[in-house]
A and B are shown apart, each in its own frame.
Chain A
């Protein structure tokens, strides 16, 4: 898939709360094709302490409106400056990067998408893709508190949405892997993105229940397109770059202690 470096225009910066923003980007030209799971390397121009680009998942693509969405959580100066951008500003992206999720073999497959915190970002695009192609999805989305649950209305367009919060402020109290849905049903396909301990717990559940399971990793990166070998994860095939061989990996390939 051809990669581009483009200046996109901020159509809207939707401030979700003091920690998260949704950047809606557009371009005067037609956006290139992108796949769920892929990410962009974003240049942050107005932050003197941000030297390298920042990897950010493709949250959603609306080809008709020619829109690309990025969901950003503020963790440091790079993400803070991205969240301060205003409509009309430009943002330089290198994209689309990385691989994609695997399509389930049959349309009646029972599919579970589990997201934690800002890790829900790639799952919205993936959910929209699955829905468009006639699959039914269940989303279990978790966060520390209700402020960390994002885009719930968007997710509801693409499947059944269940939530958990650690403080019980929304949905079931506890971690995503403790949700009653996981006890009540079995799934054929599980896709997950979020903090590593959460993904490991989901991977353990998938292994126990013999489900096919893919996780999306967030290793720190310098380039994002296979040039530096900084982003590796240990796999059954040795060290592989998360930016080119991933970010999506089948759990059977990862050398995780779960």
Chain B
């Protein structure tokens, strides 16, 4: 069996398979299906300074090989997370990483500060790429200037591993990645969802209450793979890849393109045990090709 350990900056992973924010709850939702401690990490739901109700129903539309969501960061706020949710996940023996969102730079800073002192949380993922909120969110992640500014401010307030989650809704994602790297991001993760739309022709109405929403699932995989490859070839910090991963072969493609680890999102809804299958599949692939360590395939694409 090959060595699956991998480091993302200061963050140590027992393996490169993690689950994406907003698609895995807080972890316990999946514990009936498999031992969630076996995976490399769990990115919990987007967390904000204060309680958010999210957008009105309907928030979901199925699309060809994917789905649109417009959840809008429903969560009970960072204090509730620390006081009530964290105690229920503290025994999960893997990295619990909080996805931090905000409407203003101050929101991001205050939320990050509160999480900095929490021992169980080794990293945060700065979500500057949510397409489903009116203020903040993606607005920060679609210009180099604002992305750099929010990362700079949060960097001052947060000492542990700072992962910045990038938006694919930009012309040149490498530019944004370079901008956040320059301001002290320890790593980047990509992609968040692509802005999309669905219409009910019978009713002549949008399907989602917010009209537009974020596209995820296999439909976005080729775009995600291209962006991971571009970013991995531009920055020096580690890259975490995601977007449409349904099986081990998909995950391996992201590793070959230059991702040091991957996250699985939408696939968890269809097969709640998919993360374990991806992990076993990566193992099998490494053995079959005679690799001693997963690090040997990271960025090993031959072009």
Interface status of B56 (Cβ within 8 A of chain A): yes
Report the stretch among A125-133, A156-164, A199-207, A221-229 that lies at the interface: A221-229
Q: Which residues of B contact A232 (CB under 8 A)?
A: 54, 57, 59, 74
Q: Which residues of B contact A234 (CB under 8 A)?
A: 56-57
**B-contact bits for A210-231, CB 8 A (1 contact / 0 none):** 0000000001111111111111
Q: How large is the interface on A (under 10, 10 to 19, 20 to 34, 35 or more residues)?
A: 20 to 34
Q: Which residues of A contact B59 (CB under 8 A)?
A: 229-232
Given contacts A51-B66, A225-B29, A229-B71, contact A94 B53 (CB under 8 A): no
In Å, the complex CA distance between A226 and B67 comes to: 17
In Å, the complex CA distance between A51 and B217 comes to: 9
Asked if B64 and A222 sit within 8 Å, CB to CB, the answer is no
Interface status of B165 (Cβ within 8 A of chain A): no
Asked if B269 and A239 sit within 8 Å, CB to CB, the answer is no
In Å, the complex CA distance between A113 and B23 comes to: 36
Q: Which residues of B contact A109 (CB under 8 A)?
A: none
Given contacts A3-B32, A94-B272, contact A222 B60 (CB under 8 A): yes
In Å, the complex CA distance between A130 and B33 comes to: 31
Asked if B272 and A222 sit within 8 Å, CB to CB, the answer is no
* Residue on A nearest B19 in the bound complex, by CB: A227
Asked if A229 and B45 sit within 8 Å, CB to CB, the answer is yes
Interface status of A63 (Cβ within 8 A of chain B): no
* Residue on A nearest B74 in the bound complex, by CB: A229
In Å, the complex CA distance between A85 and B270 comes to: 20
Highest count of chain B CB atoms <10 Å: which of A49, A225, A228, A232: A228
* Residue on B nearest A78 in the bound complex, by CB: B62
Task: Report the minimum CB–CB distance from B77 to chain A (whole Å).
Answer: 12
Given contacts A219-B57, A239-B74, contact A227 B23 (CB under 8 A): yes
In Å, the complex CA distance between A238 and B71 comes to: 14
Interface status of B206 (Cβ within 8 A of chain A): no
**B-contact bits for A224-258, CB 8 A (1 contact / 0 none):** 11111111111000110000000000000000000
Asked if B53 and A239 sit within 8 Å, CB to CB, the answer is yes
